[in-house]
């Protein structure tokens, strides 16, 4: 039975090959000063930077650049961005890039005027902002995180060996997002595949929780089926517009809070993957892939009916003559085979993790309570060893 919940998402999404045409009208809603945030410079090579700057200038905006956002944005980079935003009293932060850039922009938006240490307030105590929030807009160039339509922000603290995400309320959601699937065509294959699994993991984190056969689960299964099919096409033909557009739209709906409604949600795979990344700085989606199968095999007995359903409805396992355990296990076997087929990393040792690092990574792993099994530290270590 669905309980009480509130659903609110105020992000305006402009989707398609002509979506950049909407940027002008969106920019007109904000003041003159715009902080332009982007990553390592790929948008300058593929021409997206020039397109965005041209529109900003046509709109009479004063541009304050904040480039160099890394794949795992750090507390040090956050401090840099906050200084630029506050010193120049910017009216809008425009994030041009993938999920890390969007995540970072939201972190800056709530931190620039925060009177406390943002890391402690938001990423340790998980409090909501009480200060002025700078509006954020996104021009997406890589898909996976769903950050373009949610309040999520993940920041890394290398000194503390922690990578932590905070899901802020709807006031921190981007005000608008430009989604042109063609902008993703030049993303390197490794990053594309990583993003694809990030999408899958987002769906599964919400799907594998709660026991009700509810609307959220049916939507999740549909999204998974679309993603699986489109990913196979995109791996063979990265410029296939239909496949890339379906992947982009699936990513947005995978984590804009809709399918979480009526669910407790798990997120332990993300905690495991983020702990690995905090120690190795490995690519987010790949760390999720490397820990997923061992984790799901570990918790499968505690959520067997859902794992059986997953095997049948998503991976088309024939249950005839098989026990529930056999059906569920075959579903995970098929998932693993698909992951290997599209080129995902399946071992954390590929990122340089060794046995003597396991205890420290386990110490960096937050324990969640929304899934089928609340893990102990020894279980976390056991799972991580199985991921080697």
Clarify whether residues 294 and 378 are in a common domain: yes
Clarify whether residues 155 and 210 are in a common domain: no
**Strand 152-157 with 162-167, pairing:** antiparallel
Phi first, then psi, for residue 272 (nearest 5°) are -65, -50
- Report in angstroms the alpha-carbon separations of 40 from 62, 97, 100, 142, 277: 22, 9, 11, 13, 19
Clarify whether residues 165 and 267 are in a common domain: no
Average pLDDT (20-37) is: 97
Instruction: Supply the CATH number for residue 312's domain.
Output: 1.20.1090.10
- Report in angstroms the alpha-carbon separations of 291 from 100, 277, 346: 21, 11, 7
Clarify whether residues 159 and 245 are in a common domain: no
Q: Which domain holds residue 221?
A: 189-386
Average pLDDT (142-169) is: 94
Per-residue model confidence (pLDDT) at position 342:
98
Clarify whether residues 201 and 144 are in a common domain: no
Confidence of residue 1 (pLDDT cuts 50, 70, 90): low
Domain end call among 127, 151, 183: 183
Higher pLDDT, 262 or 281: 281
Clarify whether residues 94 and 124 are in a common domain: yes
Cβ-proximal residues to 67 (8 Å cutoff; 6+ apart), any chain:
37, 38, 39, 40, 41
Clarify whether residues 342 and 360 are in a common domain: yes
Q: How far apart are alpha carbons 41 and 114 in whole angstroms?
A: 29
Clarify whether residues 306 and 363 are in a common domain: yes
pLDDT digits (tens, 9 = 90+) for 243-254: 999 999 999 999
Per-residue model confidence (pLDDT) at position 5:
84
Residue 326 within any structural domain of the chain? yes
Domain end call among 183, 215, 242: 183
Per cent of the chain over pLDDT 90 is 94
Clarify whether residues 127 and 163 are in a common domain: yes
Q: How far apart are alpha carbons 324 and 320 in whole angstroms?
A: 10
What secondary structure does DSSP assign to 121-183, as a single string? IIIIS-PPP-S----EEEEESS-SS-GGGS-EEEEEETTTTEEEEEE--GGGS-SEEEE-GGG
Confidence of residue 290 (pLDDT cuts 50, 70, 90): very high
Clarify whether residues 150 and 204 are in a common domain: no
Cβ-proximal residues to 81 (8 Å cutoff; 6+ apart), any chain:
35, 37, 66, 104, 105, 107, 108, 112
Clarify whether residues 118 and 208 are in a common domain: no
Average pLDDT (212-218) is: 85
Per-residue model confidence (pLDDT) at position 3:
74
- Report in angstroms the alpha-carbon separations of 156 from 80, 162, 375: 14, 6, 23
Clarify whether residues 139 and 29 are in a common domain: yes
């Amino acid at each position: 039975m669905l309980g009480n919940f509130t659903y609110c998402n105020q992000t305006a999404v402009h989707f398609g090959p002509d979506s950049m045409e909407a940027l002008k009208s969106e920019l007109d809603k904000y003041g003159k000063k715009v902080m332009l945030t982007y990553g390592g410079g790929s948008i300058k090579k593929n021409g997206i930077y020039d397109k965005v700057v041209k529109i900003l200038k046509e709109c009479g905006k004063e541009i304050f650049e904040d480039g160099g956002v890394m794949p795992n944005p750090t507390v040090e980079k956050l401090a840099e961005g906050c200084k630029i935003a506050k010193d120049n009293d910017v009216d809008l932060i425009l994030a041009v890039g993938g999920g890390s850039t969007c995540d970072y922009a939201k972190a800056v938006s709530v931190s620039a005027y925060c009177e406390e240490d943002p890391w402690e307030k938001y990423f340790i105590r998980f409090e909501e902002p009480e200060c002025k929030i700078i509006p954020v807009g996104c021009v997406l160039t890589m898909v996976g995180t769903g950050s373009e339509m949610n309040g999520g922000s993940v920041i890394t603290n290398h000194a503390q060996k922690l990578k932590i995400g905070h899901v802020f309320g709807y006031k921190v959601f981007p005000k608008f997002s430009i989604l042109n699937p063609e902008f993703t065509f030049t993303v390197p294959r490794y990053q594309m595949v990583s993003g694809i699994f990030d999408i899958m993991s987002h769906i599964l984190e919400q799907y594998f929780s709660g026991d009700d056969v509810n609307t959220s689960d049916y939507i999740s299964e549909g999204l998974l089926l679309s993603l699986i099919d489109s990913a196979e096409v995109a791996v063979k033909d990265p410029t296939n517009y239909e496949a890339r557009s379906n992947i982009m739209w699936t990513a947005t709906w995978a984590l804009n809070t809709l399918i979480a409604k009526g669910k407790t949600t798990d997120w332990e795979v993300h905690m495991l993957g983020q702990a690995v990344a905090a120690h190795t700085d490995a690519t987010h989606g790949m760390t999720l892939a490397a820990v997923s199968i061992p984790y799901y095999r570990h918790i499968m007995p505690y959520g067997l009916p859902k794992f059986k359903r997953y095997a049948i409805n998503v991976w088309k396992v024939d249950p005839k003559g098989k026990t529930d355990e056999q059906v569920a296990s075959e579903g995970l076997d098929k998932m693993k085979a698909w992951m290997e087929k599209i080129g995902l990393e399946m071992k954390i040792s590929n990122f340089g993790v060794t046995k003597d690092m396991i205890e420290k990574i386990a110490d960096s792993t937050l324990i969640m309570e929304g899934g089928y099994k609340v893990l102990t530290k020894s279980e976390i270590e056991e799972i991580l060893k199985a991921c080697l």
